[in-house]
Chain A
Amino acid sequence: MENTGTTAVQRSYTNLQGYEGPGFMATTLDKAVGLARKNSIWPLPFATSCCGIEFMATMASHYDLARFGSERLSFSPRQADLLMVMGTIAKKMGPVLRQVYEQMAEPRWVLSVGACASSGGIFDTYSVLQGIDRIIPVDVYVPGCPPRPEQILDGVMKIQELVGNESLRRRNSAEYKELLASYGIQ
């Protein structure tokens, strides 16, 4: 390590690549924005059952989601970046979840925590939605019934990876619009 602005630890943490010199680093706008975004994700917890209890542990001091810049929960979708769906989503809850998702500001990400949110889990019945990806697009799935806080953290880190590497043009791309249109979201 000679004469570099960032240490090896810092660089592996931010995972940034760019032109480096003594005391400075130049990179693309995409990466700089991605770096800022991924380390300040405001989650909106949509906790409907036991995975929500695991999420409480994830937020508390022992596992501490604040280490990833996500200590500020947003209970309004207006300021939220990440929708964390934790728990069984009944079919009657579906439209509510969908509305919350639609009212989030762009860019937005969705983390589906636990078997129920991801696939309906053990509730293979007429009343339960068989996975939230039937009504909204999901970015990362966390398996488990319920998953341990470490797993939820892993899911959040995967989201961070997506956020950090996302192109600034993605949300305006035809592909993304097509994805939303396939869910009937304007």
Chain B
Amino acid sequence: MTLTVLLSSPADYLPVAIMFVVAMGFVLTTIFVTHLLGPNRKSKIKLDTFECGIESKDNARVPFSIKYFLIAILFVLFDVEIIFMYPWAVNFLDMGMEGFLKMLIFLGLLLIGFFYILKKGALKWE
């Protein structure tokens, strides 16, 4: 049995480099050549924003009233409160007095918040 000593020189990695170049070359060529190969038509209407066939108007990024945001975010806040109340309602008897008091504290805190936004006039639409 002969023992060959394997010594790697940088030249041995040439196939890897060639492989890399071919792979990159294939990807780049395909990306750019497809634009030239297929038929295309670049008219004003073609490149317009697609709005289900209806003519697009104005910019999509327009400022709108902060009231919508406030109402939406407050809705989410109190929506989450309900999420906590459901499991409590299901386990109402198991949790007993202790659970009831805990929920009372939780709801009390939220109620303070509710009165705060009420006083601040966050829910006043007009």
Contact = CB atoms under 8 A, between A and B. Distances in A.
Interface of A: 76-78, 95-100, 102-103, 105-107, 171-172, 185-186
Nearest to A169: B39
Given A97-B53, A99-B48, 5 more contacts: A96-B52, A107-B38, A171-B39, A172-B39, A186-B46
A29 B39 CA distance: 15
Interface string B21-49: 00000000000000000111101111010
Contacts, number: 39
A106 B45 contact: no
**Nearest 8 pairs between A and B by C-beta?**
A171-B39, A96-B53, A186-B43, A106-B39, A100-B53, A99-B53, A102-B45, A106-B41
B50 A96 contact: no
A103 B41 contact: no
Contact of A78 (B45, B50, B55): B50
B54 A96 contact: yes
A102 B50 contact: no
Interface in B76-125: none
A129 to B, nearest CB: 14
A77 to B, nearest CB: 6
A171 B38 CA distance: 9
Given A99-B45, A186-B43, A106 B50 contact: no
19 contacts: A76-B50, A78-B50, A99-B48, A99-B53, A99-B54, A99-B55, A100-B53, A102-B43, A102-B45, A102-B46, A103-B45, A103-B48, A103-B53, A105-B40, A106-B39, A107-B38, A107-B39, A171-B39, A185-B43
Nearest to B53: A96
Contacts of B40: 105-106
Given A96-B52, A96-B54, A103 B46 contact: yes
Contacts of A100: 52-53
B57 to A, nearest CB: 13
B41 to A, nearest CB: 5
Contacts of A98: 53
Nearest to A46: B53
Nearest to A186: B43
B27 to A, nearest CB: 20
A105 B48 CA distance: 13
A172 B41 CA distance: 10
B54 A103 contact: no
A1 B40 CA distance: 42
A97 B44 CA distance: 16
Nearest to B49: A103
Contacts of A97: 53
Contacts of A78: 50
Nearest to B45: A102
A103 B39 contact: no
A43 B50 CA distance: 17
A77 B50 contact: yes
